[in-house]
Chain A
Amino acid sequence: MKQLDSPNIVEAINLSAGYDSTNIWRDATFSIKSGEFVGLLGANGAGKTTLFRLLLGLELPTQGSLTVLGETPKRGNPRIGYVPQRHSIDSDSNIASIEYVRLGTFGNKWAFALGKKAKHELSQAHKALALVDASNLARRPLGELSGGEQQRVFLAQALVGKPDLLLLDEPLASLDIRREVQLIQLINNISKSTGVSVILIAHDINPLLPVIDRIIYIANSKVAAGKPAEIVTSKKLSELYEAPIEVLHSSSGRLAVLGVEEAIHHD
């Protein structure tokens, strides 16, 4: 992975996002350092995926400035790995998982890869699958895999280009609690071992709290960002959601957030 001049992988100053003249959210100021694991939370339609689209250079901010990996966001940045939210995978898809992974870094090239180039592509894809403990899935069709297995393949696809920043849009959706915890642990291990920064969109903060370094909350067009200890407080979250939110501290020092779901549904 390349060394950055600035220790910040992402830097947003007074950033606003929206369509036409309407802002979805505004005045977001935050930074993300190399190797950090960041949780991005908020209700459906709050604008979490919009932040990803800004980071990917697919949309422009309406106000403020945004720097990603030391430069203005650009479409097709090979240093960003991206796992979009996939609503459904075609169960008839008979294409082997390794082919999906391979496309993660070579899919935007022209023509066919032949000889040594083809072998190199394949070996990179196998390494990425090994990194997510999914080598056994290489030959299996994506449509036949369980939700947790599919997420591992998508993760491998995002990692195959050895990115500096990983954007994961709701990878925990439709997973049961055990698989949710396993996937979070896997992503955390990869982040710590490779130094890749991770921004993960989720609905529930609780399974993420033990591993995240930083948190970004989007609610009611406002954005709150900081370390979990600064943001995950009853006062801060109640202000953000404009509803009573409780933060409980267990005897082992762990946090649990209650009331966010009700606040979202109340909106």
Chain B
Amino acid sequence: MTNLALIASSTFSPNLWSDLRDMWQYSFMQHAFETGTVIALVAGIVGYFVVLRRLSFAAHALSHAGFAGAAGAVLIGINPLFGLLSFTSLGGLAMAALGKKAASRDVQIGNVLAFMLGLGVLFISLYKGYATEAYSLLFGEILGISTTNVFITIAAAILILLAVIVLYRRLLFTSLDEDVAEAKGISMLGMNIAFMLLVAVAVSVSVEVVGVLLIFALLVTPAAIAQQVTKNPRHGLIVSALVALIATWFGLFISYYAPYPVSFFIVSLVFATYLIVRLIKHLTAQ
């Protein structure tokens, strides 16, 4: 019986506290909340800079590179997370070498993206195991996350958050004003490499929750919402992380009662929030 089917039998009761206690009895739900929390924070924070740098498409392409890596790892029988991390990191380094051109190289990036997806499909078809592996990579499967991956994800998240704290002002400067930042002595290549590696790790861990195809849900939409609601970058980081966090928690909570994928609920929640924010902005601007 899958985890999704196991919890699908749960019904909503007026006593939320009792429901939460029941939910917490399942170790996979505990893992999902623990991992989902750190991943949402990381994706919300790194995603804020992705949107500022107009690298949404590049980040999306990185997740496809990760898909090929993860499918290759599944094929040779190692942890897919390692395949994800290695392929996204290599892709990130290549994009860092492109610098600000990465944001405007849609065609080249699109070509690599399509090839990586094709490579992933080949690896999956060569794999003689279950089709659920492919499904998990494409759409996420946080309810099936292993204890090992919980630890790897938390360790990666702590490293990313520490790196963002240390690099914050330089990341912001190079995101908003590359020419002046360079004149002020900041190495653009160094910052591009550091940032794209952060994105690579953030993408890799986010794939566990929302999958390759829904990566925008955690990495781009919460940041886009934050940029609509605040002009202050520090507040923007907090809003972006909170939106990703609340959507992930609610997605997990709703999925406890409904037999549908968690990633669907997360995507729907952030998308609805984005629409509402845009609508309010549009109405208040008139």
Contact = CB atoms under 8 A, between A and B. Distances in A.
B181 interface: yes
A22 interface: no
Contacts of B232: 96, 99
A108 B170 contact: yes
Contacts of A95: 52, 176, 231, 233
A100 B169 CA distance: 11
A30 interface: no
Given A107-B172, A110-B170, A113-B169, 4 more contacts: A76-B184, A100-B177, A108-B184, A110-B169
A75 B176 CA distance: 19
A56 B183 contact: yes
A113 B170 CA distance: 12
Contacts of B52: 95
Interface in A96-110: 96, 99-100, 103-104, 106-110
B131 interface: no
Interface of A: 56, 58, 75-78, 80, 82-84, 86, 90, 92-96, 99-100, 103-104, 106-113, 139, 141, 157-158
Interface string B172-205: 1100110111111110000000000000000000
B169 A108 contact: yes
Interface of B: 52, 54, 165-170, 172-173, 176-177, 179-186, 227-228, 230-234
Contacts of B185: 75-77, 108
B234 A112 contact: yes
Contact of A107 (B166, B173, B230, B234): B173
Contacts of B231: 94-96, 99, 139, 141
A111 B54 CA distance: 22
* Among B170, B180, B228, B230: residue with most chain A CB under 10 A: B180
B7 to A, nearest CB: 40
Contact of A82 (B165, B170, B183, B227): B183
Contact of A103 (B165, B177, B227, B228): B177
Contacts, number: 87
A94 B228 contact: yes
B184 A84 contact: no
Nearest to B231: A96
Contact of A58 (B176, B183, B227, B228): B183
Nearest to B170: A108
A43 to B, nearest CB: 21
Nearest to A169: B179
15 contacts: A75-B183, A77-B185, A82-B180, A93-B176, A94-B230, A94-B231, A103-B169, A103-B180, A106-B169, A107-B184, A108-B169, A108-B170, A110-B168, A112-B234, A157-B180
B183 A104 contact: no
A122 to B, nearest CB: 11
Nearest to A96: B231
Contacts of A75: 183, 185
Contacts of B54: 90
A118 B281 CA distance: 29
A84 B183 contact: yes
A111 B163 CA distance: 9
Contacts of B169: 103, 106-113
A139 B170 CA distance: 22
A75 B173 CA distance: 16
Contacts of A82: 179-180, 183
B173 A103 contact: yes
A189 to B, nearest CB: 23
Nearest to B179: A84
B166 A111 contact: yes
Contacts of B228: 94
A78 B183 CA distance: 10
Contacts of B165: 111-112
Contacts of B186: 76, 107-108
A113 B181 CA distance: 18
A107 B179 contact: no
Contacts of A86: 179
A108 B173 contact: yes
A110 B167 contact: yes
Contacts of B172: 99, 103, 107
A94 B180 contact: no
A75 B183 CA distance: 6
Contacts of A80: 183
